[in-house]
A = this chain, B = another copy of it.
Amino acid sequence: MKDIRIIIVGFGIIGRGVAETLVWKRQFFRSRLGVNVVVSAVCEVSGCLVPPGGVDLEKALSTPLPKIEGWKDAKTKDVIRETEADVVVELTPGNIQSGEPGLSHILGSLAAGKHVVTSNKAPLAVAYRRIMEEAAKKERRVRFEATVGGAIPIMNLMEYCLQANEVSHAYGILNGTTNYILSKMAEDGVSLESALKEAQDLGYAEPDPKYDIEGVDSAAKVVILANALLGKDVSYKDMKVTGIREITPESVELAKKHGYVVKLVGDVVRQDVSPRLVPISHPLNVSGSLNALMLNTDIAGDITLIGRGAGARETSSSILSDILAIASRI
């Protein structure tokens, strides 16, 4: 059995989701995959948990971190540099303008000779090239499956399953909140405000849903796909972004009459995010909060993937996939 030592940076919904899955699937990882994931440290804004023998995840999930032995009033960047580990798992929320604090965490991890797995879109949407050049220089890997499409494998799919192929186009529905709202509007004929309210009540939408509604979240994902799948060198500022704010029940109804649905589509070639008419029978017409991505490949043809674009447990599937991929090469 192989040990892989990780530092978890960010212990919010996603970080705790990863920890829960690690506890839940510990035996499966050991017996079926031959991998033992050891958590060397957990970092938060207020300090870091760095117990000498590694983090007891059950305890970390049930007790406030500052009450656990090994809690230090230390800075994340110092713990990243000083703690022995193979992979830094960066799961903080990011600022789409600066990419921080994730960008510094990622660059600091690479500088310290550590691999990186992240669910944080912002650093990659701001500085994809810079991060990848730094990783190449240090011969370390930065993996980011969870940044786009939540549980849906995209980058790993291309690298491990469609590796003979080149992608010429990728487009799809990359934000579950707006898809839930548009689906509700189409199915129940309600207004955007009313559908949004419902999404908020169900926990699909943030109290401040601006990033979703205005297409910012989708656009950051398109930037990542454009760089990762098409080898482009683009960042968030190169995107044309139109959200769903102006979509009325009348326009949704009119589309429906003509056999279409309105979907917020991100497009890697056009480098835009905008509401589009999608034929009802098209594979991208997925309802509820699902995400869907269509890849145009040169050998395999079109491949469409549909799955959960969010959720702590679902997203942990992608994060763990990246960790395991690094483990298989260590």
Chain A residues packing against B (C-beta within 8 Å)? 21, 25, 28-29, 33, 145, 151-153, 156-157, 160-166, 280-281, 283, 285-287, 290, 297, 299-308, 311, 313-314, 316-318, 320-321, 324-325
* Interchain CA distance A162-B299 in the complex, whole Å: 23
| Known interface pairs A25-B164, A166-B28, A287-B281; A320-B299 also in contact (CB < 8 Å) | yes
Tell me if A305 and B308 are in contact (CB < 8 A). Answer: no
* Interchain CA distance A286-B152 in the complex, whole Å: 19
Tell me if B160 and A156 are in contact (CB < 8 A). Answer: yes
Q: List 24 A-B contacts (CB under 8 A).
A: A21-B299, A25-B299, A28-B164, A28-B166, A152-B303, A153-B161, A161-B321, A162-B321, A164-B320, A164-B324, A281-B287, A283-B283, A283-B286, A283-B290, A299-B316, A299-B320, A300-B308, A300-B314, A300-B317, A301-B308, A302-B307, A304-B305, A304-B306, A305-B306
| Among B145, B299, B311, contact of A317 (Cβ-Cβ < 8 Å) | B299
Tell me if A153 and B164 are in contact (CB < 8 A). Answer: no
Tell me if B162 and A317 are in contact (CB < 8 A). Answer: yes
Tell me if B161 and A157 are in contact (CB < 8 A). Answer: yes
* Interchain CA distance A299-B307 in the complex, whole Å: 12
* Interchain CA distance A299-B312 in the complex, whole Å: 10
Tell me if A33 and B153 are in contact (CB < 8 A). Answer: no
Tell me if A151 and B308 are in contact (CB < 8 A). Answer: no
Q: How far is the CB of A171 from chain B (nearest CB, A)?
A: 14
Name the residue in A287, A307, A311, A324 with the highest tally of chain B Cβ atoms < 10 Å from its Cβ. A307
List, in ascending order, chain B residues with CB within 8 A of A156's CB.
160-161
